[in-house]
Structure 1
Amino acid sequence: MGSRESTPMSRTATGVSYPAMSFSRSDIANLSYFLAIARHRNFRRAGVELGVSASALSHSLRGLEERLDVRLLNRTNRSVTLTAAGEALLAEIADPFERIDAAVDTLNRFRGSPAGRIRLNVPDQAAIHLLAPVMPAFLDRYPDVEIDLCVNNSIVDIVNQGFDAGIRFGGTVPADMIAQRLTRDLRWVVAGSPAYLERFGIPQHPEDLQDHRCVQIKLGDDRTYSWEFDRGEETLSISVPGRISMNDSETAVALARHGAALIYATEESVAAEVARGELQLVLTEWASLDDGLHIYYPGRRQLPVPLRLLIDLIRELNPIGD
């Protein structure tokens, strides 16, 4: 009788045997793809995080499922969910992969030049007044670090969207995140062009804004922000009138400069226009002091070295000042 080549078997605790499986390098890469999809529940968002196309991810995951001989994901046109097997796999491999990421970040500290990519989600004011002034020095110091910057004034879930960190005003940072202050508290002021103020008059009290045109500030959940004012112990929150609403501060400054309406903004965002005489501050004795800009990120993993270096440089150069 001829000999027959045997298939290696692995035995479970119940005594049932299954064919043993060896992992290839591509399987390790595919497992990292699986983790990204599990975090986002979305192939496109996972692809943005990883820098690959959604179709490439789908092909890789299909190959992994075929090799494992088990379905990990339920896919429809509208959703991606984990199967029971997918949930079990996620529970087993999430922590080891996070430890690998942390180990790589630790090794970066011993490199002659730190490397990697930072994905940041920031409002336009932070991009213009905080990051833009420090970028030349950062790029010179760390030539192997890439910055992927998404300027978005709406509040987003940075974890689900695949960002390493976000920057927001202190009062809007999600409570489940670790936050570090990057600037001092900022003054919020009302400004208008000389032409507008000559035509409509200068408000003497916040309540006078009810007789003015104002640019309304849209929040991330589509609510309209009420302008806040402080004078001594007195505080006011005014729902101002206005037919223009937006969530872009630089466009609001341009509208005010051309005389369309009054705007409510941080003093830093209108400082250049005020210095040139294009805008004039009003109600200055009512200017409200509020939390400055903070960088925030999930607390479940070690802070990536390039991100820590960026935070250190912002504090060193202090572009907004004390």
Structure 2
Amino acid sequence: MRTTDLSELAAFDAVARHRSFRKAAEERGVTASAISHAVSNLEARVGIRLLNRTTRSVSLTDAGAMLLAQLSPAFGDIGLALDALNQYRDTPFGKVRINAPNSIAPFVLGPVIGKLIERNPKLELEIVATDRLIDIVEEGFDAGIRLGESLREGMTAVRIKPRMSLVVVGSPAYFARHPFPRMPADLKSHVCIQNMYPNTARYPWFFSREGHEVEFEPTGPLALHDHELMIEAALADVALAYVWEDRARPYVEAGRLIRCLDEWIVPEDWLYLYYPARRHMSAGLRAVIEALRVS
């Protein structure tokens, strides 16, 4: 098979998996028009329409679905063959795309990025941080990072560090006007920020002590999904915030925020790096896992 033929098939495979020329182009590192041209050339060469296209959607024809089913294992085998070459290299080679929550990415990946690249100079690490829950397969990621409770079936998960906690913080000026809470029930008389997912769903503040668990649902005037915004609101003396401990730490150490209810705070669920169970693991992804894995 000619190189151009393989390139066309790879372009089709990407479009078929993503159902999008734009996302396929991002994965392949080319323009959307180049992807469209490659797929059109493939269809002209085989004499069969493989994709149905409208201005808003892309779908597979029956022929396209059959071709994709045959191509996916073949491209998997090609990936395995190329990855096997890593045994002849000193360090892993190639791109690894990771998706991680924006609220915790700096504390999980920040401490390891420098050493990871230094030890693996031929590794290309591409990190996209977003709190939106995404399908890592559909969006072309090699792996994602999430709390264990939000992992999907069909994924292999590896526990990673650090284990993080959420804390309640307020400013000195806020506590000068409001009594210091001693119990989660005391929060009912406070102005508390509502924690929100990007899809606008709220989640409660969770506390536990000696086996006694409490969920508190704030009803304050602010609903935010970005922890940095929550901290800014707390610094503005208007409300208490329930944020990741590592995000609050520099402000607490500087005396700009005060922690409360610490005896009710428990570590969150472990974080996991997850990837499709049926997809081969590249040497680059193995290097990332080893850098993050809980020892």
Q: What's the counterpart of residue 306 of structure 1?
A: 284
- The secondary structure found in structure 1 opposite 2:191 is coil
Gaps of 5+ in 1: 1-22
1:55 and 1:100 mapped to 2: Cα distance? Answer: 25
- Name the count of aligned residue pairs: 295
Give the conservation status (yes or no) of the 8 Å contact 2:146–2:271: yes
1:233 aligns with 2:205: no
Percent identity (aligned) = 39
Q: What's the counterpart of residue 14 of structure 1?
A: none
Q: What's the counterpart of residue 15 of structure 1?
A: none
Query: Residue 220 of structure 1: CA displacement?
Result: 4.2
1:307 and 1:53 mapped to 2: Cα distance? Answer: 26
Give the conservation status (yes or no) of the 8 Å contact 1:122–1:149: yes
Query: Residue 292 of structure 1: CA displacement?
Result: 2.3
1:120 aligns with 2:110: no
Query: Residue 38 of structure 1: CA displacement?
Result: 1.1
1:251 aligns with 2:229: yes
Q: What's the counterpart of residue 249 of structure 2?
A: 271
Query: Residue 268 of structure 1: CA displacement?
Result: 2.5
Structure 1 range deviating more: 179-188 or 146-155: 179-188
Alignment TM-score, normalising by the size of structure 2: 0.94
2:155 and 2:235 mapped to 1: Cα distance? Answer: 37
Q: What's the counterpart of residue 133 of structure 1?
A: 111
Alignment-mate amino acid for residue 121 of structure 2:
P
Determine which of 164, 173, 189 is the counterpart of 1:211: 189
Alignment-mate amino acid for residue 292 of structure 1:
W
1:186 aligns with 2:164: yes
Q: What's the counterpart of residue 13 of structure 2?
A: 35
5 Å matches for 1:89-100? Answer: 89-100=67-78
Alignment TM-score, normalising by the size of structure 1: 0.86
1:63 aligns with 2:41: yes
Query: Residue 26 of structure 1: CA displacement?
Result: 0.6
Q: What's the counterpart of residue 144 of structure 1?
A: 122
CA deviation digits over 1:220-255, x for unaligned, max 9? 432111111111121111111222222222232232
Alignment-mate amino acid for residue 179 of structure 1:
A
| Larger CA Rg, structure 1 vs 2 | 1
Query: Residue 188 of structure 1: CA displacement?
Result: 2.2
1:87 aligns with 2:65: yes
Indicate the RMSD between aligned Cα atoms, in angstroms.
Answer: 1.7
CA deviation digits over 1:163-203, x for unaligned, max 9? 11111122222233211111254332211111111122212
Give the conservation status (yes or no) of the 8 Å contact 1:177–1:298: yes
Give the conservation status (yes or no) of the 8 Å contact 1:154–1:247: no
Gaps of 5+ in 2: none
